[in-house]
Each structure stands twice: as C-alpha cells, then as structure tokens.
Amino acid sequence: MKNFISLADVSDPKALVQEAIQLKKNPFADKALGKNKTIGLLFFNSSLRTRLSTQKAAQNLGMEVMVMNVNQDSWGLEMMDGVVMNGDKAEHVKEAAAVIGQYCDIIAVRSFAELKDRNADYQEIVINKFKQYAGVPIVNLESATRHPLQSLADCITIEEYKTKPRPKVVLTWAPHFKSLPQAVANSFSEWMNVWDVDFVVTHPEGYDLAPEFVGNAQVVYNQREAFEGADFIYTKNWSSYKDYGKVLTQNPDWMITMDKMRLTNNGKFMHCLPVRRNLKVTDEVLDSPQSIVIPQAGNRVWSAQVVLKQILSGL
C-alpha cells in the first residue's frame, strides 16, 4: 500500500480486514518493522480515538510518533496556489508538507470539511496537497469527505459480530443541532458497497449523500421500515449534501430508541463516536448489550495498525 486516503488505495479490502483480525491476536509481532521509522500525526481538528489509536498502532509496530496540532503548535497553512500570502496564514502547504516529509517516513493528516464550499471540500484539497508535496506515504485521519480508518474498523467489527454470511446493515441519520461533515457516512457507504451485506441508508429527505458514495445502497426515507430485520444499525448525523452544510431538520423522531431497536434482528448498535446521548440515541440503547460502540472503537487500533504495517512493508 502506498497511501491510505480512500478505499481506492486498498487492493483487497477483505484480505485487509482478515489481516487486521489476525494481527489483533498478536499485536507486537511486527515490532521490528517500524524500527527507526517515524510517523507524524497532524491534526487540524480535535481528535480522541484517532489520535490515541493511531499512536498506539504505530507504537505496537515499533515506530516513533510525533504528534502536532497544526494550528496551535505551528503556523496556519495556506492551501491555495498563487496567492499573495499577506493574511493570517504564515506558511504554504507546499513547504510544510515537503518539510514534514523530510522528518517523517509516513504522514497522517486530519482535516475536516469546512462545510462552506462543497466543491472545495469534495476536491479534498488538504489531503491531496499533502499527497502531492510530502514525498512520503499519506494516511487519512479523516479528511473533508472520508474517514477510511473508521470504515476499516467498522468492517472489522461487522466481521467479528455478524451472525450470518450476509447481514443487513443500516446506516441511519440521527438528529443534531450542529452542522457536521458527511465524511463518516460517505466512507462507511463506500466500504459497505463492496462488502457482503445488504446495505440500506435511511435519512430524512434532503439528506441524500453524494451519489458516488451512496452507490448501490437502498435509500429509504422511513427509518422504522429501514430498521426491520437489520443486523447492524450504524448511526451518524450529517449535514445536507444538496443544500450544502445545512441543518434541514432536528426532528427528534429520528433519535435511536430501544423501541426502534426492537424492530431489528437483535441488531447491533454502532456509532463512530463521539455520540451525544439522548440527542442522537437514548442512554437505554447505548447501555444495552446490543451496543458495540466500545469494541468498535477498540478496533481503531487494528485498523490503523494493519494499514501502517502494509505501508511500512512497502517502504
């Protein structure tokens, strides 16, 4: 693997998941692989799971880790070409990426969607600029439109918890008062489209994801109908793609409740976290045995570790 920016960088996603499940049994077996190798973790945005699980994964592989909160620790970065840099951005990504590439064998970047200009976000300017200029492999720690380390962890989790060869997986929108990116939902859809699952997406009208991400998913605007017989309920809020970045509704009827979970086939509740309790999902669901959000988050280590292992093997 050369980079891990999207599913397209993975030649065999199912083999990758199986390798992650194997590696989980013996986390330190590849500790020699990362010896004298350094990963730089660059955060333009907040992070808990991604920050810690990727560090942990790199350390399991024997790597050195350097973490930088770009805007707090360093300089504001200009992403646009050709501008006269007389504003608040002191450094251009051309230099920053190339310089960090001098110090790191792998660079991992988190940079959320700004949700102002759809074209800009969907061009994935930040992560692509890093790819273009760093000269070393790039790992996506959630970019404007995708969060593939999360999706890979989700696939590992589904493989571990599924009780039939082809489970029904439902991605459901849930209410939130803030404008949130589509990245997790996009990425999850992208991966589910190549997975052995019956994949259903449910959300209020106006919240359709971009066609290239929905793919062949069945889209249902009636949440209860979508939940029927589901093996996995994957919950997430996102803002509108069509009316870009807008919160069109906060309808509390879309919150996940035990009542709705009873429509499923004893379905497992998944969420990438952080999750706002009693806004997107009730305490009762999260605290029930059907919730697998903690082992799902735990799988972020193996998701990152298998990706770093693959990249290190190719250095």
Q: What is the DSSP letter of 241?
A: T
* Phi–psi pair at 146, nearest 5 degrees: -145, 155
Task: Return the residue of 24, 162, 246, 276 that touches its own copies, per CB under 8 A.
Answer: 276
Q: Does 52 contact its own copies by CB under 8 A? A: yes
From the list 137, 128, 65, the residue with the least C-alpha distance to 101 is: 137
Task: Return the residue of 29, 258, 273, 315 that touches its own copies, per CB under 8 A.
Answer: 273
Q: Does 24 contact its own copies by CB under 8 A? A: no
Task: Give dist(CA 9, CA 143) in Å, integer.
Answer: 15
**x/- map, 157-196, its own copies, by CB under 8 A:** --------------------x-------------------
Task: Return the residue of 96, 108, 170, 312 that touches its own copies, per CB under 8 A.
Answer: 96
Given the complex with its own copies, which of 95 and 114 has the nearer CB atom?
95
Task: Give dist(CA 269, CA 191) in Å, integer.
Answer: 18
Q: Which one of the spans 97-105, 110-118, 217-225, 226-234 is the region binding its own copies (CB under 8 A)?
A: 97-105
Kind plus residue range of the DSSP H or E element containing 271: strand 268-271
Task: Give dist(CA 127, CA 107) in Å, integer.
Answer: 10
Given the complex with its own copies, which of 108 and 201 has the nearer CB atom?
108
Dihedral of CA atoms 58, 63, 69, 74 in degrees, nearest 10, equals -160
Task: Give dist(CA 93, CA 199) in Å, integer.
Answer: 38
Task: Give dist(CA 297, CA 255) in Å, integer.
Answer: 21
Residues with Cβ within 8 Å of 138's Cβ and at least 6 positions away in sequence, in order, are 3, 4, 5, 106, 107, 108, 109, 127, 130, 131
Q: Does 288 contact its own copies by CB under 8 A? A: no
Q: Which one of the spans 3-11, 85-93, 137-145, 231-239 is the region binding its own copies (CB under 8 A)?
A: 85-93
Q: Does 253 contact its own copies by CB under 8 A? A: no
Q: Which one of the spans 138-146, 203-211, 236-244, 269-277 is the region binding its own copies (CB under 8 A)?
A: 269-277
Query: Which residues of the shown chain bind its own copies in the complex (CB under 8 A)?
Result: 27-28, 36, 38, 40, 43, 46-49, 51-53, 55-56, 59-60, 64, 66, 68-69, 72-75, 78, 81-86, 90-92, 94-96, 98-100, 102-104, 177, 273-279, 283, 286-287, 293-295, 297-298, 301
